[in-house]
Amino acid sequence: MKASFAWLKQLVPHLPDDPRALADRLTAAGIEVEGITAYGQGTETCVLAWVVSTRPHPTKSGLRLVTVDRGEGSQEIVCGAPNVPEPGGVVVLAPLGAHLPAKNMTIGRRDIGGIVSEGMLCSESELGLSDESAGILVLPPGFAPPGTRLNDAIPETRDSIFEIGLTPNRPDGLGHIGLAREAAALLGVPWTRPDPEAPVRQRDGSAVDAVSIAIAARDRCAHYGASVVESVTIGASPSGIRYRLAALGVRSISTAVDVTNLVMLEFGHPLHAFDLDKVRGAALIVRRATEGEQLITLDGVTRALAADDLVIADAEGPIALAGVMGGASSEISASTTRVLLECATFDPRSVRRTARRHGLHSESSHRFERGIDHSDSRDCLAQATALTVRLCGGTALRDAAFAEGDAPAAVRVTLRAGAARRVLGIDITPAESKGTLERLGLRVVAESDEALTLEVPAHRPDLTREIDLVEELVRVRGMDTVAAELPSVRPTRPWGGREALLRRVRGAGVALGLSEALTFGFTSRASLAAMGAPEPAVALQNPLTSELDVMRTSLLPGLFEAASRARRHGEGSLALFTTGVVFLSGEGPNALPREPAMFAAVLAGEAPARLAKPRPRDVWDATGLALELVARLTREAPELLADPNAAPYLHPRGAASIHVHNTRVGVLGPIHPNVAEALDVDPRALIVEIDLDAIAAVGTRVPHYAPIPRFPASARDIALVVRDDVAAGLVLGAVREAAGPLAEGVSLFDRFTGQHVPEGHVSLALRIVYRATDRTLTDAEVDQSHARVVAAIADRFSATLRA
């Protein structure tokens, strides 16, 4: 909402002179002034000048030399505008030194084709009064004496415009009268609402004679008023009115339409003007539309109406969408001679539904949706009628026509004495409460030591309960009057319990060298399908784009997208993880989806190396990450099971699941080449996916103390050559088994092929650490155990021992 400071000041003369001071006060009370812009900045130095004579420029075609009388003398100005008026015409002169911020120009002496021009005849756009103009600003002859300051001749050329971020509970702020009332109440200065003007010409007669009015949908329309002005001439509005509208962001259309907009900006109450001669059958009916009925609205769109839409119909059909937009058929045009003005009260919810249904958000629907002041309808209509006569000429019919629907009941609210203390923690005296609320327009209807009962004016539909009045009290006196105090909070147990786990998971991911990504909850069916993720369980009715129309069942598409983008940027190395929920089918019809929490990581490219060529990441980066992550989270030793079918998006040769005890907590492996191809991901990318709800179910083991070994350990190595299709893990397992309880640890410390290793074989070097808990093992004991292990392994794997 834009508001004119000049207009407010006109309504409340006691306002401070500095717009900033008013803006700050309004903002502190919840009417947030987000910005102040200067309208017509630079016009202060401009004066009116009368054209004395014109002649062509001696050398430059298209330019003219205009001699103007500027009051204190005349001067010759070079002007290129096509519309320089005849002598006697009034134009606007920006003198030497004038600065016009709209075009960022400062007027200086200019030599144009040998003629020196000291000043400029200005257009509206150069003066910052409108966005564009076809030529210089020309005023009617005799508009004001030469030398009159433009700002004095047309006060609307200079204003401070407030950009107000109005909250939807304050419809009264959508008009200058409402803002004036609020400003006066906040500043404690007197204010009276202006009475409507009387039309300068009116004749006996009633609008009823010209058109019949009926409300068929009484629950949707509390009041309908119409007035008639005859013999009008529709044209352009005078410049003052055009500038006022332009300053407030409203396009000037024609006198009759501008009137309805001006009155709307003043009272906050939308009006509509019909061409009465286009109203068929001289009848207006406020009714619900019939399903499928058609109406061409002012914007030229043919609308198929719904039975829930409220329309204004004439004898033959709808001619306006009530409170939203007029119809094209009864639109005011240059040939209109009889204007019918409408000022009505429509049901906010009805207007909102219609506006949304038809995607038509208008200044009118915006106000009706929020609830307009139904008490001022007659005044609005009267003011609009008088203004129409003033601007369009013609004669008003003395009596307007009214029809009444279900009138809203008056609202009374009781404010108990202790209410402010209870809510705000401060005491507010009854006198202050009463004073504040009365200034805001409430009327005390009963008063006692315990309570104050007030009647709420129609312009404040947001005040219906005691708490609303308490808010008014603190809003007006300022929230800075409440001292801060820390509450004593009773500690509460966390609910859901995933936050702490997620924090640990993120910490572990970062500690393991990954960077955290954040990906959207929605994704495309295509990417889920391409990777073979579970079918989407949740689809969106109104997705942002038709692509992103389902909720993810896997965190991976988002990571793949990031990986693919990073690859296009030429990032060689990538180690990303994310945590978040996926959305799976809930149990039972209409149930909310399940939202299990997951961890997913994508590794790609090369692992950094020191003083060496970087090493391409491989599947053991994935197994290491998965095992370490799960171990850190559960404090258990997780187990890896190779499983070609662990997940459809994993490469069958490297796919595995990871288990803690007998719970499967995740999968990992290289990306399946088909998926990599379909989603444009590095085909060597690696994936780790951990089910965090499963991790939570496993829990975190609490370590139990084991005595620290008191006796020394002895290590023995074995080097053996086995067929290369024997899994190393199998050999290690067999070693552990053969070594028995004396073997504290078995590790594989070297593995190689080639050199002296026969084709199809691999050499494995293992170290076994022997230790007894109750004695120092003798060399003989260790050698004996070790010989047993060597024999068992050689036998089981047909292995050749190496020296």
Q: Is 631 in the site for other proteins (CB under 8 A)?
A: no
Give whichever of 434 and 506 is closer to other proteins, judged by the CB atom: 506
Q: Rounded distance, CA 557 to CA 536, Å?
A: 13
Q: Is 270 in the site for other proteins (CB under 8 A)?
A: no
Q: Rounded distance, CA 164 to CA 3, Å?
A: 7
Q: Is 631 exposed, middle or buried (0-12, 13-18, 19+ CB in 10 A)?
A: middle
Q: Rounded distance, CA 416 to CA 428, Å?
A: 11
Give whichever of 355 and 384 is closer to other proteins, judged by the CB atom: 355
Q: Is 514 in the site for other proteins (CB under 8 A)?
A: yes
The residues that bridge with 121 in the sheet, in sequence order, are 93
Pick the stretch among 260-268, 428-436, 532-540, 639-647 that binds other proteins (CB under 8 A). Answer: 532-540
Pick the stretch among 10-18, 232-240, 362-370, 777-785 that binds other proteins (CB under 8 A). Answer: 362-370
The two three-digit tokens of residue 186, written as one number: 């906040």
Q: Of 169-188, which residues contact other proteins (CB under 8 A)?
A: 169-170
Give whichever of 503 and 710 is closer to other proteins, judged by the CB atom: 503
Q: Is 546 in the site for other proteins (CB under 8 A)?
A: no
Selected from 16, 32, 406, 769, the binder of other proteins by CB under 8 A is 32
# binding residues, other proteins (CB under 8 A) = 97
Q: Is 566 in the site for other proteins (CB under 8 A)?
A: yes
Q: Is 642 in the site for other proteins (CB under 8 A)?
A: no
Q: Is 593 in the site for other proteins (CB under 8 A)?
A: yes
Helix/strand/coil (H, E, C) string of 230-255?
ECCCCCCCCHHHHHHHHHCCCCCCCH
The two three-digit tokens of residue 630, written as one number: 């799960």
Selected from 2, 57, 64, 506, the binder of other proteins by CB under 8 A is 506
Q: Is 614 in the site for other proteins (CB under 8 A)?
A: no
Q: Rounded distance, CA 472 to CA 478, Å?
A: 10
Pick the stretch among 140-148, 216-224, 491-499, 652-660 that binds other proteins (CB under 8 A). Answer: 491-499
Q: Rounded distance, CA 665 to CA 631, Å?
A: 11
8 A C-beta contact, residue 640 and residue 626: yes
- CB 473 to other proteins: min, Å: 9
Pick the stretch among 166-174, 261-269, 682-690, 727-735 that binds other proteins (CB under 8 A). Answer: 166-174
Write down the residue that tokens 């009714």 correspond to: 287
CA-nearest of 88, 86, 95 to 145 is 88
Selected from 320, 403, 517, 694, the binder of other proteins by CB under 8 A is 517
Give the distance from CA 717 to its chain's centroid.
67
**x/- binding map, residues 369-408, to other proteins, per CB under 8 A?**
xx--------------------------------------
How many other CB atoms are there within 10 angstroms of residue 165's CB atom? 11
Q: Is 583 in the site for other proteins (CB under 8 A)?
A: yes
The two three-digit tokens of residue 43, written as one number: 């016009």
- CB 559 to other proteins: min, Å: 8
- CB 169 to other proteins: min, Å: 5
Q: Is 588 in the site for other proteins (CB under 8 A)?
A: no
Q: Is 495 in the site for other proteins (CB under 8 A)?
A: yes
In this structure, the strands spanning 221-230 and 401-404 are antiparallel
Q: Is 348 in the site for other proteins (CB under 8 A)?
A: yes
Q: Rounded distance, CA 403 to CA 226, Å?
A: 9
8 A C-beta contact, residue 247 and residue 262: no
Give whichever of 162 and 402 is closer to other proteins, judged by the CB atom: 162
8 A C-beta contact, residue 666 and residue 692: no
Pick the stretch among 63-71, 132-140, 266-274, 570-578 that binds other proteins (CB under 8 A). Answer: 570-578
Selected from 216, 451, 512, 769, the binder of other proteins by CB under 8 A is 512
Concatenate the DSSP letters of all residues of 137-149 into one string: -EE-TTSS-TT-B
Where is 526: in which H helix or E strand?
A: helix 525-531
8 A C-beta contact, residue 341 and residue 402: no
Q: Which amino acid is at 532?
A: G
Check residue 327 and report its DSSP letter: B
8 A C-beta contact, residue 722 and residue 764: yes
Q: Of 324-343, which residues contact other proteins (CB under 8 A)?
A: none
Q: Is 704 in the site for other proteins (CB under 8 A)?
A: no
Selected from 490, 613, 704, 756, the binder of other proteins by CB under 8 A is 490
Give whichever of 73 and 491 is closer to other proteins, judged by the CB atom: 491
Selected from 296, 424, 631, 769, the binder of other proteins by CB under 8 A is 424
Give whichever of 284 and 469 is closer to other proteins, judged by the CB atom: 469
Concatenate the DSSP letters of all residues of 23-80 into one string: HHHHHHTT-EEEEEEEETTTGGG-EEEEEEEEEE-SS-TT-EEEEEE-SS-EEEEEE-
- CB 496 to other proteins: min, Å: 3
- CB 487 to other proteins: min, Å: 4
The sign of the torsion formed by the CA atoms of 164, 170, 176, 179 equals negative
Cα 39–Cα 154–Cα 342 angle in degrees, nearest 5: 85
- CB 179 to other proteins: min, Å: 16
The two three-digit tokens of residue 295, written as one number: 């109406």
Pick the stretch among 121-129, 226-234, 578-586, 789-797 that binds other proteins (CB under 8 A). Answer: 578-586
SS3 state at 344: strand
Q: Of 753-782, which residues contact other proteins (CB under 8 A)?
A: none
Pick the stretch among 185-193, 422-430, 527-535, 763-771 that binds other proteins (CB under 8 A). Answer: 422-430
Q: Is 697 in the site for other proteins (CB under 8 A)?
A: no
From residue 737, alpha-carbon distances to 268, 778, 788 in Å are: 88, 21, 11
Pick the stretch among 238-246, 490-498, 524-532, 758-766 that binds other proteins (CB under 8 A). Answer: 490-498
Q: Rounded distance, CA 220 to CA 351, Å?
A: 9
Q: Is 21 in the site for other proteins (CB under 8 A)?
A: no
Give whichever of 303 and 552 is closer to other proteins, judged by the CB atom: 552
Selected from 529, 592, 637, 791, the binder of other proteins by CB under 8 A is 592
Selected from 483, 702, 708, 780, the binder of other proteins by CB under 8 A is 483
CA-nearest of 626, 669, 623 to 647 is 669
Concatenate the DSSP letters of all residues of 185-233 into one string: HHHT----PPPPPPPSSEEEEEHHHH-EEEES-TTTEEEEEEEEEES--
Selected from 262, 400, 551, 799, the binder of other proteins by CB under 8 A is 551
What do you get for the CA distance between the two ends of the chain, in Å?
90
Q: Is 739 in the site for other proteins (CB under 8 A)?
A: no
Pick the stretch among 175-183, 209-217, 430-438, 511-519 that binds other proteins (CB under 8 A). Answer: 511-519
**At a CB cut-off of 8 Å and minimum separation 6, what does 515 contact?**
575, 576, 577
Selected from 111, 485, 725, 759, the binder of other proteins by CB under 8 A is 485
Q: Rounded distance, CA 312 to CA 223, Å?
A: 13
Q: Is 489 in the site for other proteins (CB under 8 A)?
A: yes
Q: Is 596 in the site for other proteins (CB under 8 A)?
A: no
Q: Is 520 in the site for other proteins (CB under 8 A)?
A: yes
Give whichever of 559 and 793 is closer to other proteins, judged by the CB atom: 559
From residue 210, alpha-carbon distances to 320, 359, 405, 465, 493 in Å are: 18, 34, 21, 44, 72
Q: Rounded distance, CA 305 to CA 295, Å?
A: 7
Q: Is 595 in the site for other proteins (CB under 8 A)?
A: yes
Give whichever of 423 and 792 is closer to other proteins, judged by the CB atom: 423
Q: Rounded distance, CA 3 to CA 16, Å?
A: 16
Give whichever of 258 and 369 is closer to other proteins, judged by the CB atom: 369
Q: Is 509 in the site for other proteins (CB under 8 A)?
A: yes
Q: Of 662-681, which residues contact other proteins (CB under 8 A)?
A: none
Q: Is 541 in the site for other proteins (CB under 8 A)?
A: yes
Q: Rounded distance, CA 431 to CA 40, Å?
A: 44
